[in-house]
Structure 1
Amino acid sequence: MTKLSERLELNRSMQSPSKAKPTSRDVAEFEDLYNLLAPKNDWSEADYVAWCLDLAEDKKLTIGCLRALQNACEAGRAMTNEDWSNEW
């Protein structure tokens, strides 16, 4: 293995956890949150596709955003900083 390929492999292995491919658990939580929020927000099929692309790009941020939206929805108000959880 060349030095360049070793460095490339090391870079791949050091990928940020939030940028890692969503696990089946991530996808299940995403689907649950999306299915809960979509009817309340009148989201369309195009919205679903956009959220899925976001999930593939950054699962932590996407699921965190859906959780924050759920928290705000349950409280019956617009989303605030307090709706964002640091749990992951």
Structure 2
Amino acid sequence: MGRWTSDDGSLSLREVTLSGSTDDKGEARAYARPTALLGATTSVSDATQNGVDVVLPPIFALLSLGMLTLLLWAWGDLDTIRSRLRHR
């Protein structure tokens, strides 16, 4: 448990856990996401780039498009969209 303060000093969070590691002085450059849905004010992450932030958004986007396509196909609307696109 520790305290996190933003670079400009405008935001400070107390009793947060660090997802990452500290240096020899027990300090770490970290970031917080105060608007996050889960753990917004209880955890901060070290400043190293992790693969989750890069990989998950495109995966969720592809899964969403796939699910939308599947629903359109199941409801029979995919053929309607195709026919309208052909007549343009």
Whether these two folds match at TM > 0.5 is no
Q: What TM-score do you get using the length of structure 2 for normalisation?
A: 0.30
> Of Structure 1 and Structure 2, which has the larger fraction of its residues in strand?
2
Q: What TM-score do you get using the length of structure 1 for normalisation?
A: 0.30
Tell me which structure has the larger Cα radius of gyration.
2
